[in-house]
Amino acid sequence: MPRPVNVRVTTMDAELEFAIQPNTTGKQLFDQVVKTIGLREIWFFGLQYLDSKGYTTWLKLNKKVLSQDVRKETPLQFKFRAKFFPEDVSEELIQEITQRMFFLQVKEGILSDEIYCPPETAVLLASYACQAKYNDFSSAETIVNDRLLPQRVYDQHKLSKEQWEER
């Protein structure tokens, strides 16, 4: 009997580990991931990996996982990410877990400057994130340790995180 292959799939807020058979297809692995996280709106998402040349690539669902150019490391590494973005989030994203996955991926994209966001918009989005997380802010709570803005916004305004919190 063939030996199982260990796989690690990183979502925006969790790390999942699976053992797959050598003949497992991309679809079988993808289905296992979405079932584990409880996601039903699956058509927006896919599994990314770094290929042997270091390029980010989408896993092909109709091919065996091991027949694709996945870096041969133990465990095999994949990222569960949005592959397609809806035109109207309020109409197309029904499930809370789907909304959360999109929110975390877009937030990370803005914070890492992978997605450009003007400073004024970044501050507004950070305020929404704080409101959602902390409700009405009170001075007893602290947001200094939260990652809320891209570093370039802090640098542009020459304010520390503590000074941002005061404002």
pLDDT tens column, 11-26 = 999 999 999 999 999 9
Q: Which helix (H) or strand (E) holds 126?
A: helix 119-134
Res 136: pLDDT: 72
Name beta bridge partners: 9. Answer: 16, 78
pLDDT tens column, 28-70 = 999 999 999 999 999 999 999 999 999 999 999 999 999 999 9
Res 147: pLDDT: 79
Q: Has residue 141 got a pLDDT over 60?
A: no
State yes or no: cis peptide before 75, omega within 30 of 0. Answer: yes
Distances (CA, A) of 43 to 61, 114, 149: 12, 23, 30
Which residues have CB under 8 Å from 6's CB, separation 6+? 17, 18, 19, 74, 75, 76
